[in-house]
A = this chain, B = another copy of it.
Amino acid sequence: MLIEDISELQKARFRYCPRLPAVFHANGARVQPLGGDKLEPAASEQDAIRERFPHTYAQPLLHFAGASPNSFKPINVGVILSGGQAPGGHNVIAGLYDALKSLNSRCQLIGFIGGPSGLLENESIPLRSDLIDRYRNTGGFDMIGSGRTKLETTDQFDQALETCRAHDLGALVIIGGDDSNTNACVLAEYYASIDAGVQVIGCPKTIDGDLKNSFIETSFGMDTACKVYSELIGNIGRDACSGRKYWHFVKLMGRSASHIALECALQTQPNVALISEEVAEEDMTLDDVVDTICDSICTRAEAGMDFGLVLIPEGLIEFIPAMGELISELNDLLAMHEETEDEYRTRIGNTHDALTQSKTDADARKAGLSEGAAHTFIALPGGIRKQLLLDRDPHGNVQVSRIETEKLLITKVKSNLKARKAEKRYSGKFSSQAHFFGYEGRCAPPSNFDADYCYALGYCAASLIGNGCTGYIAAIRHLNRPAEDRIPCGVPTTSLMNMERRHGEERPVIKKALVELAGSPFQAFAEKRRTWAQETHFVYPGPIQYFGPANVCDQPTMTLQLEDDLG
């Protein structure tokens, strides 16, 4: 990176010193662990999880109680970024590096290149201060890259162990989402079971916000990503208000859970925000969803406002029960069964053609869909049908993120409004614009919140390593308080596990934390959305600020604030 390729803001941010919880501020990572209650998963899961994780089951929740009287031996640590990018990843690594050096200046940190595959293939770089310093408080995962290879099999674990031995590593830090932390936990258990001498610590990353529980209050990156999206939604809302002629449909990244859509709704107060979990809970059809939007459009049109703002979570389509069933049937239908490659191709080709040419429910049933799925399929606009058939991942699955839900909704809204117009229930003018925000926020420079939080996570991971822990996730509690008042802790990963059916077998996985409809963030939204649907209460958050007043620069997400208000 040439110096002239570095923006002025980035140069200024290099100099930002993230604020640490008091215990780290005073002692670095040389802290004394204090075990609390043993943490176990939900009662129904305990037997199955205990059986699979005999060495890492029911470990205590750990806090840190001031300076440790121990001396710390130098240890070599490897770090991996796993999965999709999230703002703050570089700060976890910077915090880990600084904290390891505070344990013992002879500690070494190496980074595995391109995610878990770097560990398997022993592709790594030593992380030294000159490199670290060029990535402090920056967005992106480009320091060492990330990847989606899954560490799942014993063969992989053994291969990884060879890499660890080659570098004399005593610990691995895996920065990832729910799946990556699940795998980290299985790896920790395996290494403990064979006495490999390699500790494994996870860090909770994902802009989706679906890796959380009562100790892990949020995953890192969500704060920044939601603030970037809210900046853009606010700008678009102000444009809608000024031009008064467009309804903007904004789809927001977030594969399953609607935490991002909910947080952005709380920040920007749009006319409609769809929450997938509610759509599923209420068993809504696509037409119900479209009706919700059209009700707002009609009410606002009567008040002379032919403009508005609709937020759509990326995962919505799968949460509409009928659509979810259709997608799952298509996945089955188009997957490879027990057949040769040639047989598969011929069958797929025929199914494709039959579905593409289907004009009636009966046609689609003949092509292999159930009555319900056929009906859902035929009711979809042609463009969307095509996307369902063509945009498939290497396993033959529909790529939900490629489905242009925002355009599907616009098409459906148009025909719904046409019908209402014919019935004299609507007399407005409808024009629309579609947007999809995802990549815009995943590598944004981290907010002060994420910069501080991530840096503290790095310290926490180092403290857990220094104290010999494995099978833990680093966590920082009381994130709604000023940085120095936050409480770092180690959460035993097995306590987050439950058994789920994946690829046809029961497996222990970290439970995805969906939006809770009874939770205070959703309730705060539900209380106001009727007013927002009718009137204009858009909020314009503006761009993330780093240098201004604390109430502008240092607020956590509304989700965190609301959850904290309650308890």
Q: In the assembled complex, how far is the CB of residue A549 from the closest CB belonging to chain B, in whole angstroms? A: 6
Q: A539 in the interface, Cβ–Cβ < 8 Å? A: yes
Contact between A7 and B235 (Cβ–Cβ < 8 Å)? no
A7-B540, A140-B242 known; A236 vs B545 contact (CB < 8 Å)? no
The 4 closest A-B pairs by CB, nearest first: A543-B543, A547-B548, A140-B238, A238-B443
Contact A543 to B540, CB < 8 A, known contacts A146-B243, A442-B239:
no
| Chain B hits for A269, CB < 8 A | 5
CB distance from A74 to the nearest CB of B (A): 30
Q: Are A540's CB and B10's CB within 8 A?
A: yes
Those of A518-550 within 8 Å (CB) of chain B: 537-549
Assess whether A2 is interfacial by the CB under 8 Å rule: yes
| Chain B residues within 8 Å of A544, by CB | 543
Please tell me if A439 contacts chain B, counting CB pairs below 8 Å. yes
Is the pair A138, B540 in contact by a Cβ cutoff of 8 Å? Answer: yes
Instruction: Check A70 for interface membership: any CB of B closer than 8 A.
Output: no
Do residues A439 and B443 form an inter-chain contact, with CB atoms below 8 A?
no
A433 at the interface (CB under 8 A from B): yes
Whether B142 pairs with A234 at a CB distance below 8 angstroms is no
Interface hits, A1-20 → B, CB 8 Å: 2, 5-10, 12-13
Complex Cα distance A238/B444, Å? 8
Interface: A455 (CB within 8 A): no
Bound-state Cα–Cα, A5 to B139, Å:
30
Determine if A555 is an interface residue (Cβ-Cβ < 8 Å): yes
Pick the contact of A142: B10, B13, B241, B542 (CB < 8 A). B241
Q: Are B435 and A439 in contact (CB under 8 A)?
A: yes
Q: How many residues does chain A have at the interface if contact means C-beta atoms less than 8 Å apart?
A: 59
Chain B residue, CB-CB nearest to A445: B542
Q: Are B7 and A541 in contact, CB atoms less than 8 angstroms apart?
A: yes
Q: A7-B542, A552-B12 are in contact. Are A440 and B235 (CB under 8 A)?
A: yes
Inter-chain contact A540/B445, CB cutoff 8 Å: yes
Closest Cβ neighbor of A225 among chain B residues: B235
A-B contact pairs, 14 of them (CB 8 A): A7-B540, A84-B243, A114-B244, A140-B239, A145-B244, A228-B543, A231-B444, A235-B441, A235-B442, A239-B439, A239-B443, A445-B543, A543-B543, A548-B548
Specify which of B146, B246, B541 is in contact with A9 (CB 8 Å cutoff): B541
User: Residue among A231, A235, A541, A548 with the most chain B CB within 10 A?
Assistant: A235
Residue pair B5, A238 in contact (C-beta under 8 Å): no
In the bound complex, CA of A12 to CA of B554 (Å): 14
Contact A239 B85 (CB under 8 A): yes
Asked if A542 contacts B9 (CB within 8 A), the reply is: yes
A279, CB-defined interface residue at 8 Å: no
Residues of B within 8 A of A542 (CB): 7, 9-10, 13, 444-445
Indicate whether A64 reaches chain B with its CB closer than 8 angstroms: no
Partner of A443, one of B2, B235, B440: B235
* Chain B positions within 8 Å of A433 at CB level: 439
Identify A146's interface contact among B242, B538, B539, B552, CB under 8 A: B242
Report the separation of the CA atoms of residues A542 and B440 in the bound assembly, to the nearest whole angstrom.
Answer: 11
Cβ of A340 within 8 Å of any chain B Cβ, yes or no, is no
- Residues in chain B near residue A236, CB distance under 8 A: 439-440, 443
- Kindly report which residue of chain B lies nearest to residue A7, judged by CB atoms: B541
Q: Report the separation of the CA atoms of residues A12 and B246 in the bound assembly, to the nearest whole angstrom.
A: 29
Considering residues A2, A8, A269, A441, which has the most beta carbons from chain B within 10 angstroms of its beta carbon? Answer: A8
Report the minimum CB–CB distance from A457 to chain B (whole Å): 18
Residues of B within 8 A of A442 (CB): 235, 239
Q: Which residues of B contact A235 (CB under 8 A)?
A: 139, 228, 439-444
Q: Does A232 have its Cβ within 8 Å of any Cβ on chain B?
A: yes
State whether A248 and B439 are in contact (beta carbons under 8 Å apart), knowing that A10-B542, A445-B542 are contacts in the complex: yes
Cβ B441 vs Cβ A551 within 8 A? no
Give 1 or 0 for each of A80-97: 1 = CB within 8 Å of chain B CB: 000011000000000000
Neighbour of A238 across the interface among B13, B142, B241, B549, CB < 8 A: B142
Determine whether the beta carbon of A232 is less than 8 Å from that of B543.
Answer: no
A565 CB to closest chain B CB (Å) equals: 15
CB <8 Å contact, A440 and B548? no
Contacts of A6 in B (CB 8 A): 539
What is the distance, in angstroms, from A385's C-beta to the closest C-beta of chain B?
Answer: 15
How long is the Cα–Cα vector from A505 to B236 in the complex, in angstroms? 37
State how many angstroms separate the Cβ of A175 from the closest Cβ of chain B.
13
In whole angstroms, how far apart are the Cα atoms of A20 and B75 in the complex? 59
Decide: A537 near B2, CB < 8 A? Known: A239-B443, A542-B10. Answer: yes
Known: A7-B234, A231-B444, A435-B439. 14 other contacts (CB 8 A): A6-B539, A7-B539, A8-B555, A139-B235, A139-B238, A139-B540, A142-B238, A142-B242, A235-B442, A236-B440, A239-B442, A543-B543, A547-B547, A547-B552
Cα separation A145 to B546 with both chains bound (whole Å) = 32
Digitize A421-453: 1 where CB-to-B-CB distance is under 8 Å, 0 elsewhere.
Answer: 000000000000101000111111100000000
